[in-house]
Amino acid sequence: MDNRNKSDELSIANTELASQNEVQEKRAAELVVANKELAFQNAEKEKRAAELSIANKELAFQNNEKEKRAEELVIANKELAFQNEVKEKRAAELVIANKELAFQNEEKEKRAAELVIANRELAFQNEEKEKRAAELVIANKELAFQNDEKEKRAAELVIANRELAFQNDEKEKRAAELVIANRELAFQNDEKEKRAAELVIANRELKHAEDDIRKLNDELEQKVIERTAQLESANKELGSFSYSVSHDLRSPIRAINGYAKILEEDYGDKFDSDGTKALDSIMYNSKKMGQLIDDLLAFSKLGRKQVTVSEINMAALVSMVMDELLFDEDENIPEFKMNVLLPSKGDQSLIKQVWINLLSNAIKYSKYKPKTCIEIGSYVKEKQVVYFVKDNGAGFDMEYYDKLFGVFQRLHSQEEFEGTGIGLAIVQKIVSRHNGTVWAESKLNEGACFYFSLPA
């Protein structure tokens, strides 16, 4: 009994031991698998540690680069702040310059308005003077007519007296006709008395007319004195305006050009193509404005310059002007044909400017022709010497001839031919001051011929 129990217990113990061995084997197998997995994880951890080390090194390098970039950014920010301060200063200066330019423009408009009013007043006074002169001409014609009538009456009186003497001689012979003669004589005496009364009235009217003419002359002289004073005042104002244009208006132009050059030198590389184009346009137009001011001043000075008349050797003068002409190496050199140039009288310096302007225009408007031919000559017409400059250039449409000699009037575009449009106005001003005339003939694209006359 006891052995059987022990055998059962031993069998149970063996069974349990076998079961535990199986469990241990499973656990051992699981442990092997766990060890392999742990080894794999350790290997993966080492790889991750190596990658982390590389990442840390790369992060450290990037941090160093970021610090360098941060330092460069600080420097750039400081430089940008300095440039902004400079820009603000330049902008403030530009605002001041614009305000000054606006003020000067207002002053110029005021001066121009005053000059327009003065010109209107002068034109009105000239019209009044012309009306008075017309009235004076009519009065003179009336006076001449009355004098003619008086002479006719005097002639009739002389004839009547002669007839009376003849009748007295014939009285003895014509006794039978004495009554008729006496009646006729009485009639003639009545007519004489009427003529005498008419003559008295005519003399009174003549005296009144002379008094009126004297009064008109006195008024005309007084008005001439007043107009002269007003003209002198207008000339003084014009001189003041010219001084203002020469100094006050030129100053902001120089400022604009100077600031544009500063922008080009300091910030030219930061502009895009549109900005560079706009800056170049500012500089070009400011330079052009300066040229317009110079030409306008030159034109205004012509009216006040004293003309000194002397004998002019025109051939020598034109040769000197041609020698002073300058040409670029790639420019179309013109071929000049100089005919006989007759001498004349005038101010040599002013006439030289006329030749310079006409020859320069002929060269400029012929530059697109394959060959430039310019002919110069003269001839005598009605006690005046006529000079001409003929070219084979672009020419112009005679339909717009009335604009040819106007100030700042141009018949071609600025892009096609450069210029300020005042050269021909100066020519006309100079020639008119010499009591001469300027005119032109042309056909579009077939050249032009400009003429001017001077006293022989």
- Over the stretch 91-113, which tens digit does the pLDDT of each residue have? 888 888 789 888 888 888 888 78
Instruction: Specify the pLDDT at position 449.
Output: 93
Rounded to whole angstroms, the Cα distance separating 394 from 328 reads 20
Retrieve residue 167's tokens. 């009748």
* pLDDT band (50, 70, 90) for residue 249: low
Instruction: Specify the pLDDT at position 385.
Output: 93
Rounded to 5 degrees, what angle do the CA atoms 14, 16, 20 make? 110
* pLDDT band (50, 70, 90) for residue 390: very high
Instruction: Specify the pLDDT at position 316.
Output: 93
* pLDDT band (50, 70, 90) for residue 174: confident
* pLDDT tens column, 40-86: 988 898 998 888 889 889 888 988 898 898 898 889 889 888 988 88
Torsion of CA 276, 282, 285, 291, to 10 degrees: -110
The runs of H, that is alpha helices, within 172-268 are 178-243, 250-267
Mean pLDDT for 160-185 is 74
Rounded to whole angstroms, the Cα distance separating 79 from 76 reads 5
Residue type (1 letter), 329? E
Instruction: Specify the pLDDT at position 292.
Output: 61
DSSP state of 112: H
Rounded to whole angstroms, the Cα distance separating 285 from 272 reads 20
* C-alpha R_g of the chain: 55
Residue type (1 letter), 450? F
Average pLDDT over the chain, rounded to an integer: 80
φ, ψ (nearest 5 deg) of residue 407: -70, 130
Report the DSSP beta bridge partners of residue 377: 388
Look at residue 60 and give its three-state secondary structure.
helix
Rounded to whole angstroms, the Cα distance separating 373 from 375 reads 7
Closest CA to 454 of 352, 331, 302, 303: 352
Report the DSSP beta bridge partners of residue 311: 345
Query: Identical fold at 32-304 and 308-455?
Result: no
- Which class would CATH give 308-455? alpha beta
Cβ neighbourhood burial of 264 (10 Å; 0-12, 13-18, 19+): middle
* pLDDT tens column, 118-148: 678 878 887 888 888 788 778 678 877 887 8
Report the DSSP beta bridge partners of residue 337: 375
Domain 32-304 has CATH 1.10.4100: no
Instruction: Specify the pLDDT at position 377.
Output: 94
| Domains of the chain, residue spans | 32-304, 308-455
Are the beta carbons of 282 and 263 closer than 8 angstroms? no
Rounded to whole angstroms, the Cα distance separating 378 from 312 reads 14
Residue written as token pair 């052009």:
288
Mean pLDDT for 273-277 is 80
Rounded to whole angstroms, the Cα distance separating 367 from 333 reads 9
Q: Please state whether beta strands 373-381 and 384-391 pair in parallel, antiparallel, or not at all (unpaired).
A: antiparallel
Mean pLDDT for 397-426 is 64
Mean pLDDT for 87-93 is 86
* pLDDT band (50, 70, 90) for residue 197: confident
* pLDDT band (50, 70, 90) for residue 413: very low
Are the beta carbons of 312 and 347 closer than 8 angstroms? no
φ, ψ (nearest 5 deg) of residue 430: -65, -45
Q: Please state whether beta strands 310-312 and 344-346 pair in parallel, antiparallel, or not at all (unpaired).
A: antiparallel
Residue type (1 letter), 51? E
